[in-house]
């Protein structure tokens, strides 16, 4: 995985445009359109919520757990999740070729149900991505402290054709948008990847080596790091396109979060920008006054100088 540091959102947008052009010039298949993932800490690598609590979990073990809780979920939500029975999946998990075919071309065991669980916070082997770099940017900047001096990251993943697979290898499957599951899946333009390997039995694997160049490479991925200080600018830009917590989650909590961000973060941002403009205008006025031999400026002098600057077209904010 190649890491690229950029200083501003504009630099990221330009770098992304260059990547898209290079990808098209390479003549790769259209189905390998890029996916994006935003993370609020650039020190974090790619990992699933399941990896963070249980590394290398067996496919059958995970399936047994989600099958066990299904009746409770169906009772609470009054919604059915038809999935294969556990004995069948346990048998498949020990068969390399049969489960590989199902994971690759389908029907993928419990995919819709697993995506639903993922969107509700249940530990999941599905790593969630989005087809929109703007949605990825929202999740990267959403909770980061802009005065922390830290960096956020946005991952850009291109699937490559003819990926290798085999016994003992880490294999990466990409699952697209065409599945009936949680509505956030549609709102957030979600897709997922599943990283697994077979060694007598299928198990989930980490992402630390799947993008390394070589015979086992499962795709191409870039990690862009962007200063957290870009947070207000990026979130305000996204909000102007109606991309915010409410549009992505559609809950009452998300609505309140969106309104609070507009009333406090964006208002403070505009006020801070106005203060910066005022200081710059005052500095220019004092510099011009000094050139004219004025050592001290009265309020009337400042007003006159501001008006003179405005006439020239600079339009500074009033100090």
CA atoms within 13 A on the CB side of 184: 18
Q: What is the pLDDT of residues 92-112, one digit of tens each?
A: 999 999 999 999 888 999 999
How many of the other CB atoms lie within 10 Å of CB of 174? 18
Q: What whole-number distance in Å separates Cα of residue 88 and Cα of residue 184?
A: 30
Residue percentage of the chain with pLDDT more than 70: 82
Q: Which residue has the higher pLDDT, 318 or 42?
A: 42
Residue percentage of the chain with pLDDT more than 90: 65
Q: What whole-number distance in Å separates Cα of residue 158 and Cα of residue 139?
A: 20
Q: What angle do CA 3, 7, 244 make, to 5 degrees?
A: 90
Residue 145, pLDDT above cutoff 60: yes
Residue 31, pLDDT above cutoff 60: no
pTM of whole model > 0.75? yes
Q: What whole-number distance in Å separates Cα of residue 63 and Cα of residue 89?
A: 8
Q: What is the pLDDT of residues 13-29, one digit of tens each?
A: 999 999 888 877 665 54
Specify the pLDDT at position 29: 47
Q: Tell me, what DSSP letter sits at residue 108?
A: P
Q: What is the average pLDDT across 297-313? A: 59
Q: How confident is the model at residue 266 (pLDDT cuts 50, 70, 90)?
A: confident
Q: What whole-number distance in Å separates Cα of residue 191 and Cα of residue 11?
A: 26
3-class secondary structure, 143: coil
Q: What is the average pLDDT across 118-136? A: 96
Q: What is the average pLDDT across 135-152? A: 90
Residue 252, pLDDT above cutoff 50: yes
Q: Which residue has the higher pLDDT, 165 or 44?
A: 44
Q: How confident is the model at residue 215 (pLDDT cuts 50, 70, 90)?
A: confident
Strands (E), 166-219: 170-175, 190-198, 202-204
């Amino acid at each position: 995985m190649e890491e690229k540091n950029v200083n501003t959102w504009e630099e990221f947008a330009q770098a992304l445009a260059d990547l898209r052009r290079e990808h098209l010039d390479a003549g790769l298949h259209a189905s390998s359109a890029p996916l994006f993932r935003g993370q609020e800490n650039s020190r974090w690598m790619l990992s699933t919520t399941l990896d963070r609590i249980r590394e290398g979990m067996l496919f059958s073990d995970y399936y047994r757990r989600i099958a066990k809780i299904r009746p409770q979920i169906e009772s609470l939500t009054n919604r059915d999740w038809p999935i294969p029975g556990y004995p069948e999946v346990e048998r498949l998990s020990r068969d390399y070729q049969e489960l590989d075919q199902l994971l690759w071309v389908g029907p993928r065991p419990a995919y819709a149900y697993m995506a639903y669980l993922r969107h509700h916070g249940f530990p999941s082997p599905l790593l969630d991505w989005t087809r929109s770099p703007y949605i990825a940017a929202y999740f990267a900047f959403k909770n980061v402290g802009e005065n922390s001096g830290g960096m956020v990251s946005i991952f850009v993943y291109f699937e490559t054709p003819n990926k290798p697979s085999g016994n003992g290898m880490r294999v990466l499957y990409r699952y697209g948008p065409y599945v009936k599951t949680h509505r956030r899946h549609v709102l957030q333009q979600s897709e997922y990847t599943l990283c697994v390997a077979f060694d007598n039995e299928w198990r989930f694997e980490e992402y630390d080596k799947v993008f390394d160049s070589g015979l086992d490479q499962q795709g191409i991925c870039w990690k862009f790091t962007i200063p957290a200080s870009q947070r207000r600018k990026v979130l305000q830009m996204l909000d102007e396109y109606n991309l915010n917590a409410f549009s992505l989650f559609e809950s009452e909590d998300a609505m309140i979060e969106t309104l609070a961000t507009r009333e406090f973060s964006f208002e403070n941002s505009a006020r801070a920008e106005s203060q910066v403009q005022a200081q710059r205008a005052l500095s220019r006025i004092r510099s011009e006054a000094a050139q004219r031999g004025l050592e001290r400026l009265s309020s009337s002098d400042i007003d006159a100088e501001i008006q003179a600057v405005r006439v020239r077209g600079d339009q500074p904010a009033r100090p």
